[in-house]
Amino acid sequence: MPKITISVPNELLAKFKEEFPEINVAEVARRVIKKKIEELKKLEELSPKEEYKWHQ
């Protein structure tokens, strides 16, 4: 699996980890990215316009 780097302000990440220590931040990021890709594909299916061809 490829790796990516995501920049998150230290205060935000610290607060998130403090409030939700059991949550895997990397898994949250993976799910959000996957969901966004699925949304973009649906948008592409609904619109034949070339401007929505995000993956070319």
The pLDDT of residue 46 = 80
Of 1, 26, 3, 4, the closest CA to residue 13 belongs to: 26
**Residue 51 DSSP class:** G
Written as tens digits, the pLDDT of the chain (56 aa) is 788 899 999 999 999 999 999 999 999 999 999 999 999 888 888 876 666 555 55
The pLDDT of residue 2 = 86
Q: What are phi and psi of 54, to 5 degrees?
A: -75, -25
Q: Which residue blocks in 2-55 are alpha helix, DSSP H?
A: 10-19, 25-46
The pLDDT of residue 18 = 95
The pLDDT of residue 47 = 75
Global pTM value: 0.66
The pLDDT of residue 53 = 58
- Give dist(CA 42, CA 2) in Å, integer: 24
